[in-house]
Amino acid sequence: MWQGAWKSRGPGATFVALLCAAGCGSSEDPTQNGAASSSGPAGACPPGQRVGPNGGCLAAGIQSDGCDAGEHSVDGDCRPAGIAPDACGAGFAPTKDGGCAPILPATSCPAGQIAVPGETACHPLADCGSAPWGDAPSDPTTRYVDAAYSDTGSDGSQAKPFTKIQDAVDAATSGAVIAIAAGTYPGTVLIAGKSVELAGRCPEMVELVGGDPAAIEIGVQASGTRIRTLAIRGTASGIVVSGAKDVVVERVWIHDTPHPGLWVESLFAPSQATLDRAIVEATKALGVYVAGANATIQASTVRDIAESFEGTGDGIWVEATSGSSAELDVIGSVIERAHESGVYGKFADVTVEGSVIRDNIPLAMTGFFGVGVGAEGATVRLRHSLLSGNRDAAVFANGSDVSVETSVIRDTDAAADGQFGRGINVEPSAGKPSTLTVSDSVLDNNSSTGIYVGGSTATINATIVRATRPRPFDRTFGIGIDVEDSASATVRSSILEKNHDIGLFVFGAEGSIEGTVVRDTLPRPGDLQFGRGIEADPVIDPAIRRSKLTVDACRVERSTDFGIYVGASDATIEATVVDDTRPRAVNLWFGRGIGVESYSDEPANVSITHSVVSRSRDYGIYVLDSAAVLESVLIQGTMARDDGKFGDGLGVSREELDYYDKPLATVPAATVHVTLSRIEQSARAGVTSFGGAASIGGVVLECNPVSLDGEKYEGVGAEFEDRGANVCGCKGAVSPCVVLSASLEPPVAAGEYQH
């Protein structure tokens, strides 16, 4: 057996002469109970643990506040990621999977009926009652309208009501009520110069059939106008508000108009309107349009908005205009089955709270969109809400500031081309990046990507990203969180589980994941590849742009292929557990805990400290033409592949030279520096080097068939540097730490992620 090149810092050529530095004279065997030899200075913690804020030892996977990965501290208590049962919004109930579900009927309501979160049955907007003018007040200023009145001499009294609404408006004093009896009322009603209240008996019995520009037009000096308990349809828009504020549209059914049901603009003066307990349905182009104005949609439904010839069909569209900002609040409402988007904000301020936005539809002319909430240059706040069954993306933002809090985003499907279906998608626009904050939320069963951050910044706290499906186009992707294009994302105290392809992917970007559980990542079914927990790769276009990855106090469990993979990028892995990595589904290879590999002459650089890598297959930690520094790391129980091959705790290797097709001197070196660590119960060897260099100090190698193996590879010899205080043995029996050459089979490179 050949003893590899060994650069000893103390006397002797093997570890045998150095054993006394680790354990001679001790009454306790150094290979037992965490290895006294590797515990370092007095008070230091054993491998796989770190010193906590109070001076005690914290196991890997425990955050500095004492909470497990996947939990966050709230008032001193550790709570799991997701939505706390007492944090569901009004009209929502907690679910067993960490989310909230709206209290609603099982199916959507029929035309003219409504149910909003908190209601279990559909119902009409108003009770028609038995009085001819409903609940309109009997007041000297009230003017009455009845289309069925056939006598002459109408004066607006109950005995002689007007037959046209406009006549009553013209005759009314400011602030008066216009009481409207059952009937159909054609034409446009213009309200300007004063405020009035139009009060129908009920929407089922009172209908206004409007012309151009709308059934009701509310103009300047009509602030405070109220429209209630009637229905509107027509040949243009339903209601237009231009130059009036404090307009209330209450318990009104607006339907079957070829233009927006409610149009609010500040063309002549600032405008503001509230849609309250109302229905806008089966309009065309837009349900509600807000231009340079403010609007509130509360306890209302906007649904079944038809696509126009121009290619719009949004439920609610709000945008700033030249010189006029725009604000929209959607509260306790249901927005469903619109085309293009449920709610879209363009350079506007949008708040969605306690609402359901669901089942929106791609445009027929393109097959794209069908998003829940869209934003361009906007500020969007989504709270206590549900977005489900949308297409393309549930939240799609360009150059916008988006916050999602205590909300559920689920079941987003791909567009007609079989791509995307992302839960949240944020990207830059005209050089302006988006910002995204997600907290205490759940993203479940979306398609392609749970959260996509491109060229923007994101902070994700206490959130569950679960069961992201591969895109139908080629059955690939299904990534939990994807950070690309020089983006930056921080994920804290969250859970990424049962995603496909990769749990967290950092691609030419920066990613930090802290106190998070990444588990049960599955292969993509299109080619049965990957299923990696966390991956960082570079972008080459044309120069290489490395990724930067930080993993702190996480648990990466039951991944496929690799638990953590770093390709030609920089990574710091601290206080993290990588456990039970499964072999690749397509050929049962790999199953490595941590992979550190070069790409296109570019090495990876990785630091791993106070971490545990356990129950891996093939290799616990594998370093290819790259550099890794390990301190206080526990590598245990590395298993062989299903074919019986490999099973090394730590491996360092050169790549095959035909991969580079260039002189050896230009190929990145493969190096590992290991201190104060423990490698135990590997199936084949504790540490192997195939043409690489390993520097080892204060390391316990326990119960490995071969402690140290060095093989010449591609004409390059293995190098081992003895830094002292190393121990080899098994179950109390100490043996010489000798570098052997057992003619072991060299490993296979895995390669970076392929889109």
- Which tokens belong to 417? 């081309």
| β-strand pairing of 92-94 with 100-102 | antiparallel
Residue 685 burial by CB count (10 A; 0-12/13-18/19+): exposed, middle or buried? buried
Which structural domain, as residue segments, surrounds residue 704? 1-60+588-755
Longest dimension (CA), the chain: 122
d(C-alpha 564, C-alpha 573), whole Å = 9
The angle at the Cα of 42, spanning 38 to 48, to the nearest 5 degrees, equals 40
Query: For the segment 16-57, what is each residue's pLDDT rounded down to a tens digit?
Result: 323 333 332 333 333 233 333 333 343 489 999 999 999 999
Establish if 301 belongs to a structural domain: no
Number of domains composing the chain: 1
Percentage of residues of the chain with pLDDT beyond 70: 92
Structure confidence at residue 601 as a pLDDT band (50, 70, 90): confident
Tell me if 678 sits within 8 A of 635, measured CB to CB. Answer: yes
Averaged pLDDT for residues 496-504:
98
Return the pLDDT at 730.
Answer: 96
d(C-alpha 226, C-alpha 222), whole Å = 10
Establish if 241 belongs to a structural domain: no
Which residue, 653, 657, 650, 651, is CA-closest to 633? Answer: 650
Query: For the segment 283-334, what is each residue's pLDDT rounded down to a tens digit?
Result: 999 999 999 999 999 999 999 999 988 888 999 999 999 989 999 999 999 9
Return the pLDDT at 715.
Answer: 81
**Bridge partners, residue 68, by sequence:** 62
Structure confidence at residue 273 as a pLDDT band (50, 70, 90): very high
Rounded-to-10 torsion of CA 650, 651, 652, 653: -170
- Which tokens belong to 353? 């709270």
Establish if 374 belongs to a structural domain: no
Establish if 736 belongs to a structural domain: yes
- The mean predicted confidence, pLDDT, of the chain is 91
d(C-alpha 267, C-alpha 321), whole Å = 9
Return the pLDDT at 662.
Answer: 56
Residue 149 burial by CB count (10 A; 0-12/13-18/19+): exposed, middle or buried? middle
Residue 106's contacts (CB-CB under 8 Å, 6 or more residues apart) are none
Establish if 120 belongs to a structural domain: no
d(C-alpha 222, C-alpha 241), whole Å = 9
Tell me if 196 sits within 8 A of 225, measured CB to CB. Answer: yes
Query: For the segment 190-228, what is each residue's pLDDT rounded down to a tens digit?
Result: 999 999 999 999 999 999 999 999 999 999 999 999 999
Establish if 711 belongs to a structural domain: yes
| Cut 0.85: pTM above it | yes
Establish if 232 belongs to a structural domain: no
The DSSP result for 709-736, as a single string, is: EEE-BTTB--EEEE-S--EEEETTEE--
Residue 1 burial by CB count (10 A; 0-12/13-18/19+): exposed, middle or buried? exposed
Establish if 665 belongs to a structural domain: yes
